[in-house]
Structure 1
Amino acid sequence: MKNLFLLFFSAAFYLFAISCDTSSEQKLPQIEEKNVEEYRHTLPAYEWLENGANYRTEIYKDSALYHFNHQIENKNYEDAANYLIAYGNALDRNIHFDSIYFKTSSDFYNTHKKDISGEAQSYLCYYLGAQSYFNHQLDPSFKWFKQGIELKPESKSHKQIIGFTNFSLAQNYSLVRDFENTEKHLIAALRIFEDIGDVTNQGTVYLLLHDIFVKTSALDEAEKNLKKGLQIVKQQGNKSLTFSAYSLYVNFNIAKADTIGAIKYIDSMAIHAKQYPGINNYHKALLNQLLAFKHIAQREDKEALDFLKIAREMTDQSNSLDLQMRTLFQEIMYAEIFDKTLKNPEEAERFYNEIAAEEEPNTQFMTQLGSGLYTYYTKKKDFEKANIYATFLLNNRDKESKELIQGKLFELERKFKTEQKENKILLQEKQLKSQREWLFAMTIGAVFLILIFIIFMIWHKSKSLAREKVLAENFTSLLLSKTEEERKRIASDLHDSVSNELVNLRQALETNSSKFSVKIDNILEEVRNISRNLSPTLFDKLGLKLSIEQLTDRAQNQHSFLLTSDIDYSGDLSDTVELQLYRIIQEATTNMMKHANAMAGKITITEDDKYVYAEIKDNGKGFDADKMLEKGNCFGLLNITERTKFINGTVNIKSNKNGTTIKLTIPK
Structure 2
Amino acid sequence: MSKTNYLFHAFLIAIFLLVFSCQKNETNEVLFQKEEPVKEDATKAWLHKVEHYKKDKNYLSVFHNYYNDKIKEKKYLEAAEVLDFACVYLADSYDFNDQFMTKVKEFDTRYRHKVPELKTTFVDAYLANYYFDKYNLKKACEYFKKITTLEPDDYNSCYNIARAYYDLSYIYYIMGKQNLSLLANQKSFEYFSKIDNPKGLAFVYSNYANIYTAIGDKKRAIQNADKAIQAYKKIDNTYNVYIGLINKISIYEYLKDKRERPLIDSVYQAFISSNDESKILKIKIFDFKAENLIHENRLLEAKKILNDLKPVVEEIDSDDLTQEYKLTSALYEIKKNPNYSNFADIKKTLPTLISNQQYEKVNMLYGVLQNSAIQNKDYKTALAYEAQKKIIADSIGSIITRVKTVELEKKYQTEKKAQELKIKEQTITNKNTTIALLCASLIGILLINFAFNLKQKQKKLKLEKENTQLYTKQLLEKTEEERKRIASDLHDSVSHELLSLKNSFEEKTEITSQKIDAIINDIRSISRNLHPIMFDKIGLKESINQMTERAESVNNFMVTAEIDYHRVLSSSDELQIYRIVQEALSNIIKYADAIAAKISITENENSIIIEIKDNGKGFNVEETLNSKSSFGLHNIIERSRAIGGQANITSNTNGTIITIDIKKAQ
- Distance, in Å, in 1 between the alignment partners of 2:199 and 2:61 is 34
Shift of 1:378: 10
User: Which SS does the other structure have where 2:96 is aligned?
Assistant: coil
Does residue 1:122 correspond to 2:121, yes or no?
yes
Q: Deviations over 1:425-446 (max 9, x none)?
A: 9xx9xxxxxxxxxxxxxxxxxx
**Structure 1 residues 47 and 307: alpha-carbon distance in aligned structure 2, compared to 1, 3 A threshold:** same
> Which of these residues, 310, 331, 334, is aligned with residue 332 of structure 2?
334
* TM-score of the superposed pair, with normalisation by structure 1: 0.51
Asked if residue 90 in structure 1 is aligned to residue 86 in structure 2, the reply is no
Counterpart in the other structure of 1:601: none
Q: Residues 104, 420 of structure 1: CA spacing in aligned structure 2 closer, same or farther, 3 A cutoff?
A: closer
Mapped partners of 1:401, 1:74: distance in 2: 55
Partner of 1:394: 387
Q: Which residue of 1 aligns with 2:231?
A: 232
SS at match of 2:291: helix
1:173 and 1:179 in contact (8 A); partners too: yes
Partner of 1:284: 282
> Is contact 2:366–2:389 with CA below 8 Å preserved after alignment?
no
Change (3 A) 1:366 1:144: closer
Matches within 5 A, 1:317-466: 317-340=315-338, 342=340, 345-356=343-354, 358=355, 360-373=356-369, 393-398=386-391, 400=393, 403-404=397-398
Q: Is the Cα contact below 8 Å between 2:245 and 2:267 reproduced in 1?
A: yes
Identity among equivalent positions (%) equals: 14
Contact 1:68 1:83 in 2 (8 A): yes
Summarize deviations over 1:113-156 as a string: whole Å, max 9, x none: 33212331223322232233234333432222222222221211
* CA–CA separation in structure 1 for the residues paired with 2:460 and 2:225: 16
Displacement of 1:239 in angstroms is 1.1
Name the SS for the 1:287 alignment partner: helix
The structure-2 alpha-carbon separation of the partners of 1:139 and 1:337, relative to structure 1 and needing over 3 Å to count, comes to same
Q: For residue 38 of structure 1, what is the aligned residue in structure 2?
A: 38
CA offset at residue 283 of structure 1? 0.7
Contact 2:90 2:96 in 1 (8 A): yes
Equivalents in 1 of 2:383, 2:165: separation in Å? 38
What SS class does the counterpart of residue 44 from structure 1 fall into? helix
SS of 2:329's partner is: helix
What corresponds to 1:302 in structure 2?
Answer: 300
Does structure 2 retain, via aligned residues, the 8 Å contact 1:46–1:83? no
Whole-angstrom distance in 2 between the partners of 1:268 and 1:241: 16
Once the 2 structures are TM-superposed, how far is the Cα of residue 188 of structure 1 from its aligned partner?
1.2
For the pair shown, which has the larger CA radius of gyration, 1 or 2?
A: 1
Structure 1 residue runs of 5 or longer lacking an equivalent are 1-28, 429-668
For 1:43 and 1:129, the matched residues in 2 are separated by 31
Could you tell me how far 1:202 is from its partner in structure 2?
Answer: 0.7
Can you give the 5+ residue segments of structure 2 that lack an aligned partner in the other structure?
Answer: 1-29, 403-455, 480-666
User: What aligned pairs does 1:453-492 form with structure 2 within 5 A after superposition?
Assistant: none
Give the distance between the partners of 1:184 and 1:171, measured in 2 at CA.
11
- Residue in 2 that maps onto 1:580: none
Where 1:272 maps in the other structure, the secondary structure is helix
- Aligned partners of 2:33 and 2:392: how far apart in 1? 53
Q: How many residues align?
A: 391
| Equivalent-residue separation in structure 2 for 1:229 and 1:189 (angstroms) | 14
Instruction: Output the CA distance in 2 between the equivalents of 1:254 and 1:149.
Output: 32
1:73 equivalenced with 2:72 (yes/no): yes
Instruction: Judge conservation of contact 1:148–1:165 (CA < 8 Å) in 2.
Output: yes
Deviates more, 1:160-169 or 1:295-304: 295-304
Cα distance change, pair 234–50 in 1 and its aligned pair in 2 (3 A)? closer
Contact 2:124 2:143 in 1 (8 A): yes
Q: String of CA shifts for 1:557-599, please: whole Å, max 9, x gaps.
A: xxxxxxxxxxxxxxxxxxxxxxxxxxxxxxxxxxxxxxxxxxx
In 2: Cα distance, 1:262 partner to 1:411 partner? 32
SS of the aligned residue for 1:258 comes to coil
Pairwise CA distance, 1:341: 5.2
Cα 1:158–1:173, aligned 2, differ >3 Å: closer, same or farther? same
Alpha-carbon distance in structure 1 between the residues aligned to 2:317 and 2:53: 17
Q: Which residue of structure 2 lines up, in the alignment, with residue 108 of structure 1?
A: 107
SS at match of 2:74: coil
- Residues 112 and 120, structure 2, Cα contact 8 Å, conserved in 1: yes
Cα shift readout 1:216-275 (whole Å, capped 9, x = no counterpart): 32323312322322222222222112212222222222333233x112211331243256
Aligned equivalents of 1:163, 1:224: Cα separation in 2: 22
Q: How far 1:390 moved relative to its partner?
A: 7.5
* Match of residue 170 from structure 2: 171
Counterpart of 1:251?
250
Q: CA offset at residue 406 of structure 1?
A: 11
Query: The residue matched to 1:299 in structure 2 has which SS?
Result: coil
- 2:429 aligned residue: none
Q: In the alignment, what sits opposite 2:219?
A: 220
Distance in 1 (CA, whole Å) between partners of 2:235 and 2:49 is 23
**Would you say the 8 A contact 2:33–2:155 is kept in 1?**
no
> Helix, strand or coil: the match of 1:97?
coil
Assess if the C-alpha contact under 8 Å between 1:173 and 1:182 holds in 2: yes
Question: 1:237 aligns to what SS in structure 2?
Answer: coil
Contact kept, 8 Å, 1:163 with 1:193, in 2: the verdict is: yes
Q: State TM-score, norm by structure 2.
A: 0.51
- Conserved? CA contact 1:203–1:232, under 8 Å: yes
* 8 Å CA contact 1:210, 1:225 repeated in 2: yes
Cα 1:371–1:93 change in 2 (3 A) is closer
Aligned counterparts of 1:132 and 1:397: Cα–Cα separation in 2? 26
Amino acid at match of 1:284: K
Distance 2:97 2:137 in 1: 16
Distance 1:407 1:340, change over 3 A: closer
Task: Write the distance in 2 (CA, Å) between the matches of 1:346 and 1:167.
Answer: 35
Kept in 2, the 8 Å contact 1:49–1:90? The answer is no
Tell me, what secondary structure is at the counterpart of 1:38? Answer: coil
SS at match of 1:95: coil
Q: CA deviation at 1:50?
A: 5.0
Q: Is the 8 A contact 1:153 1:159 kept in 2?
A: yes
